[in-house]
């Protein structure tokens, strides 16, 4: 079984621990990355954990992942609600994909209720805080096992 997974984080996720702790908790980006890398190692998954504030860069990462990664976990953050380009790139990627949000986007402002990417991913995790990342890694492992 191939086990190369990438977690792609969108804009402002690098500011975890500094921003809106009522929505995102107190964990820092580096702590989150460390927790994800530890869990993926426990599950024998090779994990890349990246973040970008640039929409086109995220599109390029998704495009390149089709040749290098067996699954994508994406927290597109604010681009979730605005980026047709990220949606299209995810649609082209034909391997397992999970949408992830730290906060529950459906309990927030009305404009956040619409995800442009939900219909092109295999599943989503919303509102479970940083623990959602761990659940996404576990879920991705199951998706990859089912592929083989």
Contacts of 60 (CB under 8 A, 6+ apart): none
* Cα separation, 140 vs 49, whole angstroms: 14
Q: Is there a catalytic annotation at residue 106?
A: no
Q: Which residue has the tokens 């999970």?
A: 98
CA–CA gap between residue 34 and residue 49 (Å, rounded): 9
- Supply 41's token pair: 């190692």
Residue with tokens 């927790």: 35
4-20: burial string, b at 16+ Cβ within 10 Å, e else: ebbbbbbbbbbebeeee
- Out of 24, 69, 93, 133, pick the active-site residue: 24
- Say which of 69, 93, 101, 133 is annotated catalytic: 101
Can 113 be counted among the known catalytic residues? no
- Strands of 21-92, DSSP E: 46-51, 71-75
Among all residues, which ones are annotated catalytic? 24, 101
């Amino acid at each position: 079984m191939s086990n190369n997974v990438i977690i792609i984080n969108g804009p402002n996720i690098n500011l975890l621990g500094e921003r809106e702790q009522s929505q995102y908790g107190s964990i820092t980006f580096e702590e989150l990355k460390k927790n994800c890398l530890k869990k993926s190692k426990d599950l024998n998954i090779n994990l890349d954990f990246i973040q970008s504030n640039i929409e086109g860069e995220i599109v390029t990462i998704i495009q390149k992942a089709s040749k290098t990664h067996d699954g994508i976990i994406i927290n597109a953050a604010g681009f979730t609600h605005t980026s047709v380009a990220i949606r299209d790139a995810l649609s082209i990627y034909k391997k397992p994909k999970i949408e992830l949000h730290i906060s529950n986007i459906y309990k927030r402002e009305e404009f956040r209720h619409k995800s442009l990417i939900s219909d092109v991913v295999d599943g989503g995790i919303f509102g479970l805080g940083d623990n959602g990342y761990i659940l996404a890694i576990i879920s991705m492992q199951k998706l990859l096992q089912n592929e083989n």
